[in-house]
């Protein structure tokens, strides 16, 4: 069984967002593996190391320019066996999913995160499943392989379900899929240099959406402080000023 | 042409969020002089179905087919696609929840239609559709243009005012051609009787400042008098003090209640991303320099173990 993890390359989650020239000002930004993708990769590694050994290999793929390679190398250092980079700027979710389908069709289990922490598209996983016509489950918070059967749990609106699925499958994963992301060890970093990172030419396809401009949220008014000795005043403000209770 | 909304049900009942979608969809339909169509999938009684007409639906399509008993990406996508084609939907509007997010992305490919998730307002223009959405976990907004004839969106919760508009809607049963499911639900756990965090108007949330899960009793009391749902910061759920379903923030749930009370939460940027759309934020923290005060509307500097019980008493 072969697993593919789709990796988005996103600004570190503590980044203060600055827009200039109608795009994200990239000065000083640290780039990281999208947090959910990092957890997906962690779970894929755990499954590969499992004694039952049903997983033969873990590959990663990212749609991006050469500038995304440090992020891809990090995934190899964490333990992925091989990597693909599809050489283009990911401009829109449909465009990105179409690129990913070039690689994804050769795998049994494809993992994507539920969303990118930058543009919050919440799109690529579902689109990819639809493009390759595979089974798919969204909002997945655990993944187990049991004698060739795939068992996942997923969040539903107001609960949780255990779902079994056919292969091939695209799983859109979220929190819970793995506990903590793995940090590459020195040995892994050394080994990553020898591992294959194949660059694939992009296919031409449509952009279904396009960002015209950005807008920053309005600055909050100053916080009104209430004296700790006068908690009743807070109740009064919430009732009569904010009118929220 | 028409505006299509998917009216998701919970055990045969609709929620306020579905009426919000209808009110939003009605405004678009009125603007374009088109009809508002609601689609319900799964077992819903006639009375409940007809409640959709109170919020402006012109036509209500439904199917009680048992295939809709549990959610499946392919089966629900097929039903929405067939309905969208039948009614020549130009805008398809979904809830910004698990089902809506999954459907939006699948339908986008099935209909070759641009998908915009977490829209926060009405479209700014209609041909082509441009719309404002959240990006960078609420740290910015983007104005997105849809390059296709059909646009699909999920609406961020609490971004549009619910308005009752009685209409004389017709109800019609749909017959779909459905694919065989590739996935199978083996078991389900439903959080019964509990107010869902994502539906709640009022939320009381606790952080690491509360020291241990055993100290949650006072937050439960406060939530109890307010009729609020409970939430927590990520370390709290990582420590296992509270369930993962209560974790809010960038990697947890993103919520937009009318009131969010943060107790013993420092206000890290990843936490704030999940709550910044709340109408009113109250912070209770012993550190006057905690960043949570920068996003709060009201704040109290002090010991949560003293202030929370006093607040509960004052509310009674
Ligand atoms: C990739 C990534 C994603 C993340 N996603 C999330 C996320 O989704 N959600 C999230 O919450 N975090 C997230 N985090 C973690 C985040 O960075 C913070 O570590 C976390 O939010 C801190 O939680 P906290 O405020 O409860 O704890 P702390 O930062 O430890 O704050 C505790 C607060 O309690 C106050 N306090 C202590 N005692 C008392 C008392 N007796 N009375 C009153 N106040 C008291 C302290 O002054 C302090 O401000 C993420 C981090 C990363 C790297
Ligand atoms: N450029 C990319 N390369 C590879 N995978 C991506 C890329 N962008 C998004 N993804 C995957 O799609 C998921 C959802 O992203 P999005 O739809 O952009 O919110 C991410 O968690 C990734 O797994």
10-residue averages of pLDDT along chain A (245 residues)? 97 91 91 97 95 89 97 97 98 97 97 96 97 98 89 94 97 94 94 96 96 90 94 97 95
The structural domains of chain A, with segments of one domain joined by +, span 2-218
CA B267/CA B230 separation, integer angstroms: 17
Do A14 and B269 make contact, defined as CB atoms within 8 angstroms? yes
All residues of chain A having their beta carbon less than 8 Å from the beta carbon of residue B138 are 217
Q: Which residues line ligand 1 (CB under 6 A)?
A: A 13, 35; B 207-209, 233-236, 249-252, 264-266, 268, 270-271, 274, 285-287, 290, 303-305
Q: Where are the beta strands (DSSP E) in chain B?
A: 2-6, 35-41, 59-63, 89-95, 114-119, 125-126, 129-135, 140-146, 151-155, 170-173, 183-190, 202-206, 229-232, 259-263, 280-285, 298-301
Query: What is the end-to-end Cα distance of chain A in Å, rounded?
Result: 55
Pocket flag, ligand 2, residue A90 (CB < 6 Å): yes
Measure in Å the smallest separation between the Cα of A193 and chain B Cα atoms.
Answer: 31
| CB-CB under 8 Å, A207 with B147 | yes
Task: Please state the atom number of ligand 1 nearest to the C-alpha of residue B305.
Answer: 41
Which residues in chain B (43-72) have CB-CB distances under 8 A to chain A?
70-71
A93 touches chain B (CB under 8 A): yes
Look at residue A220 in the predicted model and tell me its pLDDT.
78
Shortest-distance atom of ligand 2 to CA A64:
1
| A31 in contact with chain B, both atoms CB, cutoff 8 A | no
For chain B, residues with pLDDT lower than 50 are none
CA of B266 to the centre of ligand 1 (A): 5
A19 Cβ under 8 Å from any chain B Cβ: yes
Alpha carbon distance B113, B197 (integer Å): 31
B227/A244 Cα distance (integer angstroms):
12
Report the C-alpha gap between A82 and A198 in whole angstroms: 8
pTM: 0.95
CB contact under 8 A, B300 and A206: no
User: Ligand 1 mean position to B219 CA, how many Å?
Assistant: 17
From chain B, the residues in CB contact with A19 under 8 A are 140
Q: In B172-261, where does DSSP find H-type helix? A: 217-226, 234-238
pLDDT at B191: 80
Q: Which atom of ligand 1 is nearest to the CA of B304?
A: 42
DSSP-based three-state secondary structure for A55: coil
For ligand 1, the distance from its centroid to the CA atom of residue B293, given in whole angstroms, is: 13
Determine contact, residues B10/B69, Cβ cutoff 8 Å.
Answer: no
Instruction: Give the ipTM of the model, two decimals please.
Output: 0.94
Could you read off the pLDDT of B67-97 as tens digits, one per residue?
A: 999 999 999 999 999 999 999 999 999 999 9
Distance A114 CA to ligand 2 centre (A): 8
Interface contact flag, B115 A223, Cβ < 8 Å:
no
Q: Does A29 touch chain B (CB under 8 A)?
A: no
Mutation probe of ligand 1 site: the residue of B206, B235, B287 with most atoms within 8 A of C-beta:
B235
Q: Smallest CA–CA separation between A61 and chain B, in Å?
A: 20
User: What's the rounded Cα separation, in Å, for the pair A129 and B76?
Assistant: 14
Q: Which of B12, B62, B17 is nearest to B37 (CA)?
A: B62
Using CB atoms, which residue from B108, B245, B310 is nearest to A123?
A: B108
Residue contact A224–B299, C-beta within 8 A: yes
Q: What is the reported pLDDT for A53?
A: 75
User: Which residues are CB-neighbours of B93 under 8 A, at least 6 positions away?
Assistant: B3, B4, B5, B6, B21, B24, B25, B28, B152, B153, B154, B155
Dist. CA B136–CA A18, nearest whole Å: 11
Whether B147 and A208 lie within 8 Å, measured CB to CB: yes
Q: Which of A16, A17, A22, A122 is most worth mutating to test chain B (most B CB atoms within 10 A of its CB)?
A: A122
Tell me the domains of chain B and their CATH numbers.
2-173 (3.40.50.620), 197-315 (3.40.50.1220)
Q: Is A53 on the interface with B (CB under 8 A)?
A: no
Spatial distance between the Cα atoms of A62 and A69, rounded to a whole number of angstroms:
9
Q: How would DSSP label each residue in B14-36? A: --HHHHHHHHHHHHHHHHHT-EE
Contact call for B132 and A97, based on CB within 8 A: no
Q: Is A42 in the pocket of ligand 2 (CB under 6 A)?
A: no
Q: Is B112 on the interface with A (CB under 8 A)?
A: yes
pLDDT digits (tens, 9 = 90+) for B99-111: 999 999 999 999 9
Ligand 2 centroid, distance to A63 Cα (angstroms):
8
Q: A2-218 sits in which CATH class?
A: alpha beta
| A226/B299 Cβ within 8 A | yes
Per the CB < 8 A criterion, the answer to whether B153 and B115 are in contact is yes
For residue A137, which residues of chain B lie inside 8 Å, CB to CB? 73, 183
Which of A11, A128, A158 is best to mutate for the B interface (most B CBs within 10 A)? A158
């Amino acid at each position: 069984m072969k697993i593919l993890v789709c990796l988005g390359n996103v600004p570190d989650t503590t980044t203060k967002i600055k827009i200039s020239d109608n795009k994200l000002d990239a000065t000083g930004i640290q780039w990281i593996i999208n947090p959910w993708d990092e957890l997906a990769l962690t779970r894929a590694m755990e499954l590969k190391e499992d004694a039952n050994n049903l997983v033969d290999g873990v590959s990663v793929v990212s749609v991006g320019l050469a500038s995304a390679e440090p992020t891809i190398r990090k995934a190899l250092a964490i333990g992925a066996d091989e990597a693909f980079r599809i050489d283009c700027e990911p401009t829109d979710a449909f465009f990105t999913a179409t690129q990913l389908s070039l690689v994804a069709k050769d795998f049994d289990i494809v993992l994507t995160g539920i969303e990118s922490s930058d543009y919050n598209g919440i799109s690529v996983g579902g689109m990819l499943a639809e493009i390759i016509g595979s089974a798919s489950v969204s909002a997945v918070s655990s993944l187990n392989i049991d004698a060739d059967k795939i068992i996942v749990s997923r969040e539903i609106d107001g609960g949780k379900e255990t779902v079994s699925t056919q292969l091939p499958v695209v799983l859109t994963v979220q929190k819970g899929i793995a506990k903590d992301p793995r940090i590459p060890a020195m040995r892994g970093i050394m080994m990553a240099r020898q591992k294959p990172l194949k660059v694939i030419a992009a296919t031409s396809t449509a952009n279904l959406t396009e960002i015209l401009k950005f807008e920053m949220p309005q600055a909050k008014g100053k916080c009104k402080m209430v004296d700790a000795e006068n908690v009743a005043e807070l109740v009064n403000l919430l009732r009569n000023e904010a009118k929220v209770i | 042409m028409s505006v299509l909304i998917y009216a998701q049900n919970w055990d045969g009942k609709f929620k306020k969020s579905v009426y919000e979608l209808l009110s939003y969809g009605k405004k678009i339909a009125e603007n374009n002089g088109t009809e508002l169509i609601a689609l319900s999938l799964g077992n819903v009684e006639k009375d409940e179905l007809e409640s959709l007409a109170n919020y402006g639906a012109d036509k209500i399509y439904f199917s009680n087919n048992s295939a809709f008993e549990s959610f499946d990406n392919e089966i629900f996508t097929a039903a929405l696609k067939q309905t969208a084609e039948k009614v020549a939907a130009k805008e398809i509007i979904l809830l910004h929840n698990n089902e809506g997010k999954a459907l939006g992305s699948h339908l986008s490919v099935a209909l070759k239609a641009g998908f915009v998730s977490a829209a926060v307002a009405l479209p700014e223009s209609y041909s082509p559709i441009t719309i404002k959405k959240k990006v960078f976990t609420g740290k910015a907004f983007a104005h997105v243009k849809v390059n296709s004839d059909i646009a699909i969106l999920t609406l961020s919760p609490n971004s549009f005012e619910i308005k009752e508009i009685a209409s004389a809607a017709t109800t019609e049963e749909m017959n779909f051609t459905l694919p065989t499911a590739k996935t199978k639900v083996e078991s389900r756990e439903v959080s019964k009787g509990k107010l869902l965090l994502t539906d709640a108007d009022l939320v009381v949330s606790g952080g690491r400042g509360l020291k241990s899960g055993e100290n949650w009793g006072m937050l439960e009391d406060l939530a109890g008098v307010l009729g609020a749902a409970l939430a927590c910061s990520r370390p709290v759920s990582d420590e296992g003090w509270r369930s993962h379903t209560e974790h809010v923030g960038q990697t947890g749930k993103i919520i937009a209640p009318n009131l969010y009370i943060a107790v013993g939460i420092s206000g890290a940027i990843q936490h704030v991303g999940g709550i910044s759309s709340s109408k009113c934020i109250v912070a209770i923290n012993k550190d006057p320099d905690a960043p949570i005060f920068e996003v709060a509307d009201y704040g109290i500097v002090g010991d949560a173990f003293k202030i929370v019980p006093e607040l509960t008493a004052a509310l009674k």
